[in-house]
Structure 1
Amino acid sequence: MNTVKIKQNCYRMILGLGMLLPAWGQAQTAQPNIILIMADDLGYGELSCYGSKTVHTPHLDQLAANGIRFTDFHANGPVCSPTRAALMTGKYQQRTGVEGVITAADHREVGLSLEEDTMAEVLSNAGYQCGMYGKWHLGYGREYNPTFQGFDQFAGFVSGNIDYHSHIDQAGYLDWWQGKEIKDEPGYTTDLITSYGQQFIIDNHPKKTGKPFFLYLAQEAPHYPIQGRNDAPLRVEGSGDFIRKVPNDSVASIYTEMIETMDEGIGELMKTLAEEGLLENTIVVFCSDNGAAGGRGDNGPLRASKASIYEGGHRVPAIVYYPGKIAAGTVSEETVLTMDLLPTFVDLAGGGTQNLHSDGISLKDHFLTGNAISSRDVFWRFKGKAAVRTGEWKLVVNQKEGDKKAELYNLSTDLSESKDLASRHPEIVVDMLHKLQVWEKDVSAGVEIISE
């Protein structure tokens, strides 16, 4: 198998860049640097600026105070791999075949198809230097490495989670990569990702490279294993089992520390941007890949948790900071999904989005002017359950054989999805069921890689 993707100028054909690229090159110095930070399993109620009374996140709070804080931002999936597939491609993950979690134990031979056009490839073609550090989770094999998917530089891990200190995945494999090779190094995962991000900013300053940069920092925090910066390893190579247990009465405090350490790193990253004189022309986006895990995380007023298609599974915190371009202290109630980031970044970079093979939409105008986003229906599906959102209405359907009950919620008055209104509005149920059926038929053409 040829592990290097050879596109033969297909980006120009697909994106209509034949005419756009010269213009992008001429305006290169005006193109913004883009930093995307994605937390792992961070719940809707786990930042101070989203109401947490126990977790203190001053640096993210500051970004929110000086940018946009979203109240209706959603991960495309309620678990890791699907959301990341949607993020990288700008499409519903069902089209990519990555509808379920690519696990360390059972799916080491599959990954996001090399034929997909990723966010990094599109931005690279637009003249960006692209770096990624942290969690990939879109293929374990070397052939699926991020460096074969458009990233010029990569260090991190490709599994769902690793020991924060020993870097062993849940199947007992060492999982710390530097570029295309497994090569361990000492350090706490959160701090390593932050340090790599800082160095990337310094090394890829546009004045040095002549290019803007795209930096994707995929943090592991606060995903399990529950480990703080100074805790001992929990896993050793050869076994995914924990070699010691975290005392139950310590879990909450360590979990909080994990989030606060990530926030501390974001503060260090912003300090580096300031020292390098790059704050003014850099957009910083922060979000989570799905809701908090049940039993230890905080999803605020939302129902359920990670792996659910109720709001607690996919409504997540999200912040966008772009000084001088985005009005400080903005709160957006617009419905936004992870897949919207790819067309947004392309639009911000000066490229056209009309020919993108994307289900997402550009948020550029909303970011810069506050204009409302055009109304649209959005969808989720995971493990036999599906949901469709139309404005304030959300329909949830259990599609398992013998149990296809539809539930209807009005999120404007019932964010916790506690009052099923299906029996009161049968006409809305029928209409939304039809929309869901049309969508499922549309996305079913995707090649199935992993569905559960």
Structure 2
Amino acid sequence: MVLSKTFKFLLVALFLGAFSKGYGQDTPPNIILIMADDLGYGELSSYGSKSIDTPNLDRLARNGVKFSDFHSNGPVCSPTRAALMTGKYQQRTGVEGVITAADHREVGLSLDEETMAEALKELGYNCGIFGKWHLGYDKEFSPIDQGFDEFVGFVGGNIDYISHVDQAGYLDWWQGKVIEDEEGYTTDLIADYGVEYIKNNHPDKTGKPFFLYLPQEAPHYPIQGRGDKAVRKVGSGKYIRKVPNDSVPVIYEEMIETMDETIGRILQTVSEEGLDENTLIVFCSDNGAAGGRGDNGVLRAAKASVYEGGHRVPAIISYPGKIKAGTESTATIMSMDLYPTFVELAGGSVAQGKFDGVSLKKHLLQGKNLPKRDLFLSFKGNAAIRSGKWKLVAKGVDKEDPELELYDLETDLSEQNDLSDKYPKRVKKMFRNLQDWDQEVREGVTFIAE
């Protein structure tokens, strides 16, 4: 049955009326989603880093649940964000690769896709995004047309933290659907707007809960600290100055610590506004750390790889009074699971067949196990399937005779001991399931980025 726009409006009005009268108990939570860019599995002190100090994210972990088996849907930026926004495998959206500044300025995530912001907006939420979008350069694909009421930030893969110029030499700082630059270090600006949004959208003022999405730039290149000079200028994506190699590690760690500091400002604002008990806060990364400078802990490989280092990432969820503090979840989770989770926590229904992701609500609030399922990853001719503790890596799936490797992640998290010769039947079955999935998610899809 298709609901008319008028009927939908009446439903939302009834919801808002009930919300404004009874805010506080059993009401939909405010939702804050913070996504780091290229942050590795070993780059928070709560995940074992000895050199990087992240006290605010550590505190968030102590107050909530830390995930040891959380995966970005893709091993690079745009695919993960497409899956995050739609709740389904990115292949279904046509965004399997990076939407680049050089080659994809006219395409983006289809407006026919329903995003988590659009779903939450229908459930009565105010929605804001401040930071990195990376799902379309043209203003036609702006977050403003994908369910968000407010947007300040950049639409590309990365920008100069100081000059806000992208890799192709274009100024990339937007106020809504208009390019309008302002002074400031990107990480600080994201926090400034986040703090302002929380204060302006307090449910006591608006009668509505809010969804605040803060996709960070850090610690993605260019490697720049707060006090550094610009490395790009308008008209050229080439660096106008280079960072000395021996300075990169120090600046890189500073970038992560600065991000943690600004996240602390967000947490402090939530507390000062009296919103702690009814605000769900999620932190995760869009993929693993880049090779050569990042730290993925014990995991094999790095960003852009289907080995664990490319996609197993740190993730924390806090919801005081609802999620038991100081817990750790070993459930296998992907970015696409957040959309149905938010919808269900907001009081909506998770329609069968609409999502590839699953709601984590009962797992988070009641500690219940997630349903058994196989999970899949594919990028640039390589793919993987996860089935319980088993992971099959298929290299060269676009070739006639792909190389297949089997790992027991329960005993071999670093993926060093290939067991494919020992379990040929398991390999055959898992590869067949991977092939079936690949065919199913690509059927009828026009790819805009591969």
Q: TM-score, normalised by structure 2?
A: 0.95
**Inter-CA distance 424–87: structure 2 relative to 1 (3 Å threshold):** same
User: Is the CA contact (8 Å cut-off) linking 1:20 and 1:352 kept in structure 2?
Assistant: no
Match of 1:250 in 2: 247
Query: After superposition, where does 1:150-161 map in structure 2 within 5 Å?
Result: 150-161=147-158
Taking the aligned partners of 1:167 and 1:230, their CA distance within structure 2 comes to 15
Which of 180, 184, 192 aligns to 1:183? It is: 180
Which of 219, 224, 227 aligns to 1:227? It is: 224
Match of 1:26 in 2: 18
Aligned partner letter, 2:305: S
Match of 1:168 in 2: 165
Match of 2:322 in 1: 325
Which of 223, 234, 237 aligns to 2:234? It is: 237
Match of 1:4 in 2: none
Which of 423, 426, 437 aligns to 1:425? It is: 423
Instruction: Please list the CA deviations of residues 309-339 of structure 1 after superposition, one character each: whole Å capped at 9, or x if unmatched.
Output: 0000000000001111110110000000000
User: Is the CA contact (8 Å cut-off) linking 2:19 and 2:208 kept in structure 1?
Assistant: no
**Inter-CA distance 354–415: structure 2 relative to 1 (3 Å threshold):** same
Match of 1:3 in 2: none
Q: Quote the offset at 1:450 in angstroms.
A: 3.0
Taking the aligned partners of 1:88 and 1:139, their CA distance within structure 2 comes to 13
Taking the aligned partners of 2:265 and 2:204, their CA distance within structure 1 comes to 21
- Tell me the secondary structure at the aligned position of residue 112 of structure 1: coil
Match of 2:263 in 1: 266
Taking the aligned partners of 1:57 and 1:289, their CA distance within structure 2 comes to 18
User: Is the CA contact (8 Å cut-off) linking 2:87 and 2:338 kept in structure 1?
Assistant: yes
Query: After superposition, where does 1:67-106 map in structure 2 within 5 Å?
Result: 67-106=64-103
**Inter-CA distance 362–196: structure 2 relative to 1 (3 Å threshold):** same
Which of 327, 340, 344 aligns to 1:347? It is: 344
Please tell me whether residue 109 in structure 1 is matched to residue 106 in structure 2: yes
User: Is the CA contact (8 Å cut-off) linking 1:110 and 1:449 kept in structure 2?
Assistant: no
Which of 440, 443, 446 aligns to 1:442? It is: 440
User: Is the CA contact (8 Å cut-off) linking 2:12 and 2:124 kept in structure 1?
Assistant: no
Please tell me whether residue 413 in structure 1 is matched to residue 411 in structure 2: yes
Match of 1:196 in 2: 193
Q: TM-score, normalised by structure 1?
A: 0.95
Taking the aligned partners of 1:9 and 1:186, their CA distance within structure 2 comes to 45
Instruction: Please list the CA deviations of residues 370-389 of structure 1 after superposition, one character each: whole Å capped at 9, or x if unmatched.
Output: 11111110000000011100
Aligned partner letter, 1:136: W
Q: Percent identity?
A: 65
Aligned residues: 443
Please tell me whether residue 208 in structure 1 is matched to residue 205 in structure 2: yes
User: Is the CA contact (8 Å cut-off) linking 1:280 and 1:323 kept in structure 2?
Assistant: yes
User: Is the CA contact (8 Å cut-off) linking 2:223 and 2:251 kept in structure 1?
Assistant: yes
Instruction: Please list the CA deviations of residues 77-111 of structure 1 after superposition, one character each: whole Å capped at 9, or x if unmatched.
Output: 00000000000000100000000000000000100
Q: Quote the offset at 1:352 in angstroms.
A: 0.9
Match of 2:385 in 1: 388
**Inter-CA distance 23–181: structure 2 relative to 1 (3 Å threshold):** closer
Taking the aligned partners of 2:368 and 2:17, their CA distance within structure 1 comes to 28
Q: Quote the offset at 1:451 in angstroms.
A: 4.1
Q: Which moved more, 1:354-363 or 1:196-205?
A: 354-363
Aligned partner letter, 2:428: V
**Inter-CA distance 19–179: structure 2 relative to 1 (3 Å threshold):** closer
Please tell me whether residue 51 in structure 1 is matched to residue 48 in structure 2: yes
Instruction: Please list the CA deviations of residues 351-409 of structure 1 after superposition, one character each: whole Å capped at 9, or x if unmatched.
Output: 11134611000001111111111111000000001110000000011214254011100
Taking the aligned partners of 1:236 and 1:148, their CA distance within structure 2 comes to 29
User: Is the CA contact (8 Å cut-off) linking 2:16 and 2:207 kept in structure 1?
Assistant: no
Which of 21, 33, 37 aligns to 2:34? It is: 37
Match of 1:379 in 2: 376
Aligned partner letter, 2:159: I
* Structure 1 stretches of at least 4 aligned residues deviating more than 4 Å after TM superposition: 7-13, 17-25
**Inter-CA distance 396–11: structure 2 relative to 1 (3 Å threshold):** farther
Q: Quote the offset at 1:445 in angstroms.
A: 2.2
- Tell me the secondary structure at the aligned position of residue 408 of structure 1: strand
User: Is the CA contact (8 Å cut-off) linking 1:131 and 1:216 kept in structure 2?
Assistant: yes
Q: Structure 1: where are the runs of 5+ without partners?
A: 1-6
User: Is the CA contact (8 Å cut-off) linking 1:96 and 1:446 kept in structure 2?
Assistant: no
Q: Which moved more, 1:205-214 or 1:398-407?
A: 398-407
Aligned partner letter, 1:93: Q
**Inter-CA distance 403–263: structure 2 relative to 1 (3 Å threshold):** same
Q: Quote the offset at 1:431 in angstroms.
A: 1.0
What RMSD in Å do the two structures reach over aligned CA positions?
Answer: 1.8
Q: Quote the offset at 1:25 in angstroms.
A: 5.5
User: Is the CA contact (8 Å cut-off) linking 2:36 and 2:217 kept in structure 1?
Assistant: yes
Taking the aligned partners of 2:19 and 2:231, their CA distance within structure 1 comes to 50
Taking the aligned partners of 1:272 and 1:400, their CA distance within structure 2 comes to 49
User: Is the CA contact (8 Å cut-off) linking 2:12 and 2:122 kept in structure 1?
Assistant: no
Q: Quote the offset at 1:446 in angstroms.
A: 4.9
Instruction: Please list the CA deviations of residues 175-232 of structure 1 after superposition, one character each: whole Å capped at 9, or x if unmatched.
Output: 0000110000000000000000000000001111110000000000000000000100
**Inter-CA distance 166–90: structure 2 relative to 1 (3 Å threshold):** same
